[in-house]
Amino acid sequence: MPAIASADAARVNRRRGSAADGVTFWHTLYLGTSRYNMAPGTPDPAPDALFPMAFLVEQDPGSTANAHYHTQDQFQLVVAGKAMMGTHEVGPVSVHYSGAHTAYGPIKASPDEGVWYFTLRNGFDPGARFMSMPENRVALRTITGRRHREAVAGPLSGETTVVLGPEADGMGAWHYRLAPGEAITGVDPAGGRGQYWIVIGGGMRHGDETLPPKSCVFVYPEDAPFTAIAGPDGLEVVAMQFPTKPQH
């Protein structure tokens, strides 16, 4: 069954945070857990387990998150503000994918707006490995079979379109814009290792409620293809699917 996190329900999890490189931000947990809210002594989930992990980062204006990598595959979805992500200029709505152990960045937030982005993973990651730290660069070189894998698209137009891929292993992203009451069924999740659907505009019907913008859905590989239904104000939504095998 899909895991659903409404933006309204997630708002109570908003916390102030800072990373090891000194960048400061607001952090709102949607699904799973992260090092910013784990109780001391809590064991990490297994690195090869399917573990949805979704949160919204509001990076401070003028701040820079230095180049780094993670141990899990990851999507980032820019929903507000502007930034330079490496050599790419990103803003609403941009999709960034990085495979596990793929260094990317830095993320330089605009001085006036900052930048807001969802960080979306299908496995537990304990935190960024910054390339400024020699031990992280050494560790990266010791990983056999490592593949640098990065893709970015956007800012997106208002049209329904394929954003990334889909690639042979299932990785892909799609942008849908629906009229009030219109429905769209996504690709079969069995072709990947989990999907995220993020409401960008309008609202998405779910039972008796309408999920507002910045709401989040995770679809498991064994679930039926997900159908998004637009609320009375229409719907803009981005769907992202992970590749079938984690890149460890």
- Write the pLDDT tens digit of every residue in 120-162: 999 999 888 888 888 888 888 888 878 889 999 989 887 788 9
Q: Which residue has the higher pLDDT, 46 or 101?
A: 101
Nearest CA among 85, 211, 210, 216 for reference residue 155: 85
pLDDT at 9 > cutoff 90: yes
Cα 172 to Cα 18: distance, rounded to the nearest angstrom = 31
Mean pLDDT of 57-76: 95
Q: Which residue has the higher pLDDT, 39 or 12?
A: 12
CATH superfamily of 161-241: Jelly Rolls (2.60.120.10)
Domain ranges of the chain: 10-153, 161-241
Please tell me the predicted confidence (pLDDT) of residue 244.
94
Long-range Cβ pairs for the range 129-134 (8 Å, 24+): 129/68, 129/69, 129/70, 129/71, 130/20, 130/21, 130/66, 130/67, 130/68, 131/66, 131/67, 131/68, 131/69, 131/103, 132/21, 132/66, 132/67, 133/20
Please tell me the predicted confidence (pLDDT) of residue 16.
93
Q: Which residues pair with 177 in a beta bridge?
A: 236
pLDDT tens track for 202-227: 999 988 889 999 999 999 999 999 99
pLDDT tens track for 18-33: 888 889 999 999 999 8
Type of residue numbered 189: P
Residue 96 phi, psi dihedral angles, 5° rounding:
-125, 130
Mean pLDDT of 48-52: 92
- Given 2.60.120.10, 2.40.100.10, 1.20.1330.10, 1.10.3720.10, which CATH number is that of 10-153? 2.60.120.10
Contact 31, 3 (CB under 8 A): yes
Residue 10 parent element (H or E):
helix 7-10
Q: Which residues pair with 64 in a beta bridge?
A: 108
Confidence of residue 72 (pLDDT cuts 50, 70, 90): very high
pLDDT tens track for 173-203: 999 999 999 999 999 999 999 999 999 999 9
Confidence of residue 108 (pLDDT cuts 50, 70, 90): very high
Cα 73 to Cα 69: distance, rounded to the nearest angstrom = 10
